[in-house]
Amino acid sequence: MTKSEEIKNHLIKEFGYLEPAARTQGPRRIFMEAGADKFSEVFGFISEGMKPVMLSAITGLDEGEGLGFIYHLSRADGVIINLKTTAPKTNPVLKSVTRYFPSADVYERELRDLFGAKIEGLVEGNRYPLTDDWPAGEYPLRKDWKKKEVKDAL
Amino acid sequence: MHSKRGFKIPVGPQHPSLKEPESFSVALRGEKILGFDMRLGYNHRGIEKACEERTYFQDIYLIERICGICSHSHSTCFIQAVEELAGLEVPKKALYIRTLIGELERVHNHFLWLGIAGHEIGFDTLLMYTWRDREIVMDILAALTGSRVNYGINTIGGVRRGVTGEESKKILKAMDDLEERTKYYIELAMQDTTIIRRFSKVGILSKEDALRLGAVGPVARASGVERDIRRDDPYAAYGEVSFGVITDNHCDVYGRTIVRLKELMESFKIIRQVLKNLPEGAIAVKAPRKVPAGEAVSRYEAPRGEDMHYVKSNGTDKPDRVKVRAPTLANIQAVKHMLKDRFLADMPIVIAAIDPCFSCTDRIISTRDVDTGRSDVMTWDRLREYSIEWHRENGVDFSKIKTKIR
């Protein structure tokens, strides 16, 4: 059994509801999905209970109906746990994970600017990476956003 | 801005120490930094969005231009993910050549960094020495790939050029020269009072903080965190070569200097092994234009630390999503921490010591008319015309200059 399968099985044992969407890809990649209501407990478990673990990045996805967010958690043994959660496009609310990983600050600001995610618990601060005069409601990494609109917006 | 606690001064968006735009807001009491805030994003060019509109092959060239130094790191990281999605078996020879270019890039980066670090502390002789030596590796890269920075060596399924026996000899000779120079710099770092006193106890980051703040690359390793993607999550030919992961317990700028210098020695070791064991055979396999639907996460130990790419495909010839997390973004929180309660004069070297690179998307110039406040977007062609016209009004007429390509 590869390392990634071992970790996947361990997580499924803890949280049975992860099983349907859980899969491994190669010896060091795990993909899992947790609904918005379950995400916090799984994320907390990996961050606190599987130390040392690092948040490598958060990827935002436009999946048509809703938005997807993948938290790439990398372990010291080279395995990355890619934990995904989803949120509706109309009200994409996420809880900040900065209390586990201070480095998430800038990743979450990026989700806010480029996907329009609302991050609960993220401290006030500069936006990233768009300009301060970027028009409200324009989220460039959403699929329906087109480049030409920048000129019109300005 | 004046406050009860001290002064808040804006620094930037022109970078105080590097040649990239970046805005800092520093709260000071006397010479001491009370708080430090950054405004990033001045180099955001929308590359992730642009990738979605281009084919995988076009994306290689776009991705390679994310960074002016770690160009090979980004392109390798990206194509590794694409190759995984396409299920391609990359020839061993190609993996070795990728490793070779990757290490030459690390050598070029670390020499560049050492020069900049010297410059930041007013030790410009070191800058002149290291940048002169760096030319050796730049010439090698240019000879191997045809370019000093954007090598264009990678293609989906392999590499575009091989390495001849003659080139191999030249590289080995260059590595001997550079190794000798590196030994001298290591000795210098161990003995020179200027370096020791200016770098020590500056920009302190404890091991606990490095782990907590998610530092990567030489910054993390100089704080005693033994993490190197080349060993932990091997890619290319790293699983087949032997090298050490260099760590140091100084936890300051001095430690970061030592780590990078010793890493150079490991790079020479890797390059020699790669050339000695360079396999025979093809350098690339044919790659499909369309990539089956799926998702992949790829990592690469860039000279500045862990680079991560996520690629999602949808069965067409264009990716559905490309996410890039470059090493500097992971080190940003660490910089904030390093500067707290330190002196303002340490700021340039502390920032330079993480070897930052602020790069990211599409090129748009936005202008604002000072009198009317009206803003406008300039296309590349209009910007070019404007530049020619501006120079003509100021006495330089480019249309009269005859340039000949030799």
Boundaries of every domain in chain A: 3-146
Mean pLDDT of B116-135: 94
Mean pLDDT of B93-121: 96
Instruction: Choose the mutation target among A24, A48, A69, A74 for the interface with B, i.e. most B CBs under 10 Å.
Output: A74
Residue A153 confidence class, pLDDT cut points 50, 70, 90: low
- Encode pLDDT of A9-61 as tens digits: 999 999 999 999 999 999 999 999 999 999 999 999 999 999 889 999 999 99
Q: Give yes or no for residue B103 having a pLDDT over 90.
A: yes
Query: Which of B39-48, B109-118, B148-157, B205-214 is the least confident region?
Result: B39-48
pLDDT at B8: 77
CA angle B242, B112, B60 (to 5 degrees): 70
Mean pLDDT of B116-144: 95
pLDDT, averaged across chain B: 88
Residue A154 confidence class, pLDDT cut points 50, 70, 90: low
Select from A25, A103, A126 the Cβ nearest to the Cβ of B330.
A103
Taking an 8 Å Cβ-Cβ cutoff, which residues of chain B contact chain A?
Answer: 37-41, 44, 46, 48-49, 84, 211-214, 227, 229, 232-234, 295-297, 299, 306, 308, 310, 312, 321, 323, 325, 329-330, 332-333, 360, 362, 364, 366, 375-377
For B359, the closest chain A residue by CA position comes to A129
C-alpha span between B102 and B303 (Å, rounded):
9
Residue B28 confidence class, pLDDT cut points 50, 70, 90: confident
Q: Give yes or no for residue B177 having a pLDDT over 90.
A: yes
- Encode pLDDT of B304-335 as tens digits: 999 999 999 999 999 999 999 999 888 888 98
Which chain B positions have a beta carbon within 8 Å of A26's beta carbon?
A: 84
C-alpha span between B291 and A55 (Å, rounded):
28
Mean pLDDT of B192-199: 94
Mean pLDDT of A102-117: 94
Q: Give yes or no for residue B373 having a pLDDT over 60.
A: no
CB B46 within 8 A of CB B361: yes
* B143 to chain A, closest Cα gap in Å: 35
Which chain A positions have a beta carbon within 8 Å of B212's beta carbon?
A: 102
Query: Which of A80-89, A119-128, B101-110, B298-307 is the least confident region?
Result: A119-128
pLDDT at B367: 43
Select from B84, B325, B364 the Cβ nearest to the Cβ of A57.
B325
N-terminal to C-terminal alpha carbon distance within chain B: 55
Residue B400 confidence class, pLDDT cut points 50, 70, 90: low
Cα–Cα distances (Å) from B247 to B152, B221, B244, B260, B262, in that order, read 32, 5, 9, 10, 9
Q: Give yes or no for residue A148 having a pLDDT over 80.
A: no
Q: In b/e form, how buried is each residue of A36-51, taking b as 16+ CB within 10 angstroms?
A: beebeebbeebbeebe
Residue A136 burial (C-beta neighbours within 10 Å; 0-12, 13-18, 19+): exposed
Contact call for A126 and B333, based on CB within 8 A: no
Residues 6+ apart with CB under 8 A from B232: A76, A77, A78
pLDDT at A87: 96
Residue B378 confidence class, pLDDT cut points 50, 70, 90: low
* A30 to chain B, closest Cα gap in Å: 10
For A134, the closest chain B residue by CA position comes to B366
Mean pLDDT of B20-40: 84
Contact call for B377 and A147, based on CB within 8 A: no
Share of chain A above pLDDT 90, in %: 80
Contact call for A105 and B333, based on CB within 8 A: yes
Which chain B positions have a beta carbon within 8 Å of A101's beta carbon?
A: 214
Q: Give yes or no for residue B347 having a pLDDT over 90.
A: no
Strands (E), A34-154: 53-62, 66-75, 80-88, 93-95, 118-120
Which chain B positions have a beta carbon within 8 Å of A154's beta carbon?
A: 366, 375-377
Share of chain B above pLDDT 90, in %: 68
Instruction: Choose the mutation target among B20, B231, B310 for the interface with A, i.e. most A CBs under 10 Å.
Output: B310
C-alpha span between B66 and B358 (Å, rounded):
9
Which chain B positions have a beta carbon within 8 Å of A64's beta carbon?
A: none
Structure tokens at B301: 């130990």
Residue B361 confidence class, pLDDT cut points 50, 70, 90: very low
Report the Cα B48 to chain-centroid distance in Å.
18
- Residues A137/A138/A142/A148 CA torsion (nearest 10 deg): 150
Return the CATH fold of A3-146: Beta Polymerase; domain 2 (3.30.460)
Instruction: Choose the mutation target among B227, B233, B362 for the interface with A, i.e. most A CBs under 10 Å.
Output: B233
Mean pLDDT of B102-108: 97
Select from A82, A125, A127 the Cβ nearest to the Cβ of B297.
A82
For A54, the closest chain B residue by CA position comes to B214
Contact call for A57 and B41, based on CB within 8 A: no
CB B242 within 8 A of CB B216: no
C-alpha span between A2 and A19 (Å, rounded):
17
Contact call for B377 and A29, based on CB within 8 A: no
Contact call for B364 and A150, based on CB within 8 A: yes
Contact call for A103 and B214, based on CB within 8 A: yes
Higher pLDDT, B280 or B6: B280
Mean pLDDT of B297-302: 97
- Encode pLDDT of B235-272 as tens digits: 999 999 999 999 999 999 999 999 999 999 999 999 99
Which domains occur in chain B, in start order? Answer: 52-326 (1.10.645.10), 365-400 (no CATH)
Q: Which residue has the tokens 């990211």?
A: B360
Which chain B positions have a beta carbon within 8 Å of A140's beta carbon?
A: 46, 49
CB B283 within 8 A of CB B94: yes
Q: Give yes or no for residue B363 having a pLDDT over 70.
A: no
C-alpha span between B388 and B52 (Å, rounded):
33
Q: Give yes or no for residue B371 having a pLDDT over 60.
A: no
Residue B402 confidence class, pLDDT cut points 50, 70, 90: low
**Predicted model pTM:** 0.88
Which chain A positions have a beta carbon within 8 Å of B372's beta carbon?
A: none
* B226 to chain A, closest Cα gap in Å: 9
Structure tokens at A96: 């900040």
pLDDT at B142: 96
Residue A7 confidence class, pLDDT cut points 50, 70, 90: very high
Residue B393 confidence class, pLDDT cut points 50, 70, 90: confident
- Residues B319/B323/B327/B328 CA torsion (nearest 10 deg): 120
Instruction: Choose the mutation target among B42, B230, B307, B323 for the interface with A, i.e. most A CBs under 10 Å.
Output: B323
CA angle B132, B134, B136 (to 5 degrees): 90
Q: Give yes or no for residue B205 having a pLDDT over 70.
A: yes
